[in-house]
Amino acid sequence: MENVDVSFVIPAYNCSKVVGRAIESIMNQKLSAFEIVIVNDCSNDDTLEVLDEFARQFSFLRVISHEVNKNLGAARNTGIDASRGEFVYFVDADDWLEPGGVAGLLEVARARGLDVVACGVQTVSEDGEVKPYHAWDFESSGGIEGVDYFSQYKIGAIAWNKLYRKSFLDRHEIRFVEGYFHEDIIFTARIALECMRYVSISKVVMNYFQSKTSICNSVPTRRHLASYLNLYISMAEYFGELNRRGIGDPGLVQRLSRSYGFAEVLPKLQRYAATRPRSVFVRDVFDVVDERLGPAGTGIADFVCGSFENYAQEG
C-alpha cells in the first residue's frame, strides 16, 4: 500500500473480547486508503490469535508484537514508528469510532492544512449509559495560546481524540513517555506548545468505554506511584521549557499546576499513601525518585514525604 491517508494505531494487551469492535469501527470510516497497525504488547490471553486471524482476512491490518511488555506509551510509539500514513489516529482496544467520523476529520485537516484536528468524545459505561465527555469548537496557533487551551483542558490531555499529521510528530520528535501511566499528559502538552495549525471540532467521533477495571479505577501499585511522581517532575521540566521560550506567564503556570499537578497528582499521592504503612510509603517515594533523578531528587522526595506521609497508616 503506497499511499495511506490514515494509519490507525491500536495498542493491544489482553483485549481479545473487545478489539474486534475497535477494528470494525475503523473499517466503517469510509476511507479509501488506510491501514491498521496493532501492537500486541505481550498479551497472555488469546489476543494474538484473534489479531492474526484479522490480519489473514484483511491486507490493510498489520500486527507487531513486542518481545516484552512495555505498556501503553511504548506500544503507541511502536505504532507511530511503523505507520505509513499521512496522518495517525490512536484507538484504544476497548474504544470505538462513530461511522465516517475520521473521514470528516481528514477532510478538515487537508482543506485547512492542519497538523492536528481534534474531535468530540462521549463516554459509554458498561451498562450502556452514554454521557458527553469532551467537545470544543476553536482553533489554535500554538505557543502560549495552545498552552492556555491545554491549561483549560480545551486541548484535552487525551491522545485518542485527535488526528495527527505524522510529519508533524516526527519533525518535533513528539513521542509518548514510556514505562509510566498518564503518558497522554506530557504528549499533549508538547502538542499544545508546538502545533501552530490546530483545530478542534465538537462533533463526537470517539466512544470512550468506561470499565470498572481500567487503570484510572484500579488499586494503586508502585508503578502508579512512579507514574505520579514522574508526571510531577515532567510538568516541572515543561514549565522550564515554557520559561526558556519566553512564555512562563505566572498565571498560566499556576493554571497548569492546578490542572495537572493538584488535580492529577495530589489526590493520587494521598490515595497511595493511605494504602501503605508510613515506613513503606517513605521508602517507595525515595526509591522511585532516585530511579528517575538519582541523588539530585532527594529534595523532591523529602518534600513529597513531608507533605503526604501523614495520610499513611501507622507503622
In the predicted structure, residue 130 carries a pLDDT above the cut 90? yes
Backbone angles phi, psi at 20, to 5 degrees: -60, -35
Domain boundaries, the chain: 4-213, 219-311
**pLDDT the model gives residue 315:** 81
**pLDDT the model gives residue 1:** 53
Instruction: Tell me which CATH code domain 4-213 carries.
Output: 3.90.550.10
Grid coordinates representing 36 are 491498521
**pLDDT the model gives residue 218:** 61
**pLDDT the model gives residue 253:** 92
In the predicted structure, residue 214 carries a pLDDT above the cut 80? no
For 69-91, what is the mean pLDDT?
Answer: 97
- The count of other CB atoms within 10 Å of the CB of residue 219 is 8
Distances (CA, A) of 278 to 16, 41, 138, 303, 314: 40, 35, 47, 15, 6
Region of residue 287 (phi > 0: left; psi between -120 and 50: alpha; otherwise: beta): alpha
**pLDDT the model gives residue 7:** 98
Residues 149-196: pLDDT tens digits? 999 999 999 999 999 999 999 999 999 999 999 999 999 999 999 999
Residues 50-62: pLDDT tens digits? 999 999 999 999 9
Alpha helices in the chain, H assignment, sequence order: 19-27, 47-57, 71-82, 101-112, 143-151, 166-171, 183-194, 222-244, 250-257, 266-274, 278-293, 298-308
- Read off the pLDDT band of 105 (50, 70, 90): very high
Say how far apart CA 127 and CA 59 lie, in whole Å: 34
In the predicted structure, residue 216 carries a pLDDT above the cut 60? no
For 64-83, what is the mean pLDDT?
Answer: 96
Angle at 60 between CA 178 and CA 163, to 5 degrees: 50
Say how far apart CA 72 and CA 109 lie, in whole Å: 26
- Read off the pLDDT band of 261 (50, 70, 90): confident
Say how far apart CA 93 and CA 211 lie, in whole Å: 12
**pLDDT the model gives residue 217:** 52
In the predicted structure, residue 211 carries a pLDDT above the cut 90? no
For 72-83, what is the mean pLDDT?
Answer: 98
For 278-290, what is the mean pLDDT?
Answer: 96
Residue pair 295/280 in contact (Cβ under 8 Å)? The answer is no
